[in-house]
């Protein structure tokens, strides 16, 4: 009876492994990203400059 239980656990593990391998395919099904906004880019550049000014010399 232990052989049957081991086979069942192996089968369950294999099915779980295949399911986990297929998960990235579900995550990849996303909409196209939004267009790059000039204001967002300017804010990122300004915030990076402020961080550089706050860095101790």
DSSP 1-57: -HHHHHHHHHHHHHHHHHHHHHHHHHHT--PPPPPPPHHHHHHHHHHHHHHHHHS--
Longest Cα–Cα distance of the chain, Å, equals: 71
Q: Read off the pTM.
A: 0.41
Q: What is the pLDDT of residues 12-49, one digit of tens each?
A: 888 888 888 877 777 666 677 789 899 999 999 999 99
Residue with tokens 């232990």: 2
pLDDT of residue 38: 93
Distance of CA 26 to the CA centre of its chain: 11
- Residue spans of the domains in the chain: they are 1-25
């Amino acid at each position: 009876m232990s052989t049957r239980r081991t086979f069942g656990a192996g089968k369950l593990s294999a099915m779980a492994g295949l399911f986990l391998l297929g998960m990235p395919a579900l995550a990849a099904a996303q909409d196209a990203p939004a267009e790059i906004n000039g204001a967002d880019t300017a804010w990122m550049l300004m915030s990076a400059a402020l961080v550089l000014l706050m860095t101790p010399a």
